[in-house]
Structure 1
Amino acid sequence: MPPTLVVIIGLLGLAVGSFLNVAVSRVPAGGSVVRPRSACPRCATPIAARDNIPIVSWLLLGRRCRACRVPIPARYPLVEALTAILFVAEALRFGWSDMLPAALVLTAGLLALAACDAEQFLLPRRLIYPTLGLTAACLLTAAAATGQWHRLGVTAACAVGAFAVFFTLHWVRPAWLGFGDVRLAGLLGTGLGWLGPWYLIFALLAGSFAGLLVGVALMAAGRATRHTRLPFGVFLAAGAIAALLVGAPVIHWYESVSDPYATGAPLTAVDHRS
């Protein structure tokens, strides 16, 4: 991908990250992401355009509201910066390809969901379903453009399979998983199924392992017990993004180890930079 397009996608990531902050602040409370105009949650002063520049305004304002000087949470610049960084990383990973739009949409939705889960232990349907619909639309467009309709079948199977497995776990032991995690599993199956089932498996294993590692570390530090609740959606989102960015070499390595007679790149690690 030309450097100019990479920069443009990075700037797009900053703008999308700013929008995600609005969604994280309003959607869990049932608010609209369109109206009213953004304002300070404490003094209700509308935020001027000059104070709404991603990251830059937060720094120039000294991390405080211009009117009442209440601190602005660090989550705002962090989400903006992380969105931009991940957008650039995925542009470099996939190039200008059929998978890039779906990857960007999925990543944006996962970041918003992870922020909601981290702050409120909530994975809102009003974020999951639009992300699911937009991701599916991007993949449908990719299938129409490339003629790879068989990949939609794999995508649907991964989505249904992941949803079914998590639904079963939720039905057996609701304390293990909330139904938001069940819906999120279906979203991950949709977003990663186009690349192949191994990418979904990688995401679920990586997310579960990361959650286990953090839980053990917190218990070892005396900051949690076996009954402490953790935002599992954060770890699933991280696992899915890791699958997008580094899943191909890991899966390629695993398949070469499991089948020493295999030659060439595995089917699940195809180059999408057509």
Structure 2
Amino acid sequence: MFSIFNVSGVEGVQSHDVLTRDWTFVPSKPWQGTFAHRLRATIAGRRPPPEQAILKRPNWRSRWVLYFAYLPQGKVTPAHLFTLERLARMDAGLFVVCALPPNTAVPTAIYDYADAVASKGLGGFDFSAYAIGLRSLVEESPGCNLFVMNDSVFGPFVDLDKEFSAASWDLTGYTAYSLIENHIQSYAFILKNVNDRVEKALRPVFPKRYTYDRYKDVVFQQETRLARIASHHMSVGAKWFSDHRLTSEPSFFSAISLLNSGFPFLKKSLLHRRPDVYDHEDIQHVLEELAHPRG
């Protein structure tokens, strides 16, 4: 753990102390209108899976990290390189799934770090990448423990090797939120004993034959259903939970306080989609304190 001492004022949005620590998933009633959103997505939102290819197959290992990199320009950023370098240090195989424009090669820098590589089209969001990696690992490395993350976050800023042994559930999330319904947020989570049974259990949110190309459809059909569907087959929980009736979205409004408590990540949206939460320069200062390139 560390403390950021030189950033004045950024702790004042919301302390992580208002969050529930080590929360075991409890299903909740979806809010009014959820059924209509999900029905509309099922009828009109499904699309064929993006083109995909396994370019460097995984081998058997007891631990893997599955990292999704969205590369609409076909290039890795300094933030990607920071993440790749940190993930490659781990005592685990690194499987990188890249989303790329048509006829674009995976950047050579990916191969410098990754033990397994796959490519896919730009559609389908992170869940289509997770599905590709999950099925490949079930085939090539059954029984492994799997750390899953996407590139919507800066980091990791802590030693993730310890996170495997610290995972308290079969599916362990970092933050959970009750908006729409109680759910695990999908930017990072850990799955234990990944095998054919687990892949089949999670197939409603990691489907083989279709995907979703609208952000709202992904949220309603995949992210907010993941924990509930998984809970029918395995234990599920999160390190921090926020009830939206009492607190705000934790990875935004408790971001700096969580970092100082040992949280591994910082959401990139704090600089882009949600620049209203913290001052832009304060977030840049935090990144500098963490020896991360400016976002």
After TM superposition, the score normalised by the length of structure 1 is: 0.25
Which structure exhibits the higher relative contact order, with contacts defined as CA atoms closer than 8 Å and separated by 6 or more residues? Answer: 2
After TM superposition, the score normalised by the length of structure 2 is: 0.24
Structure with the largest fraction of strand: 2
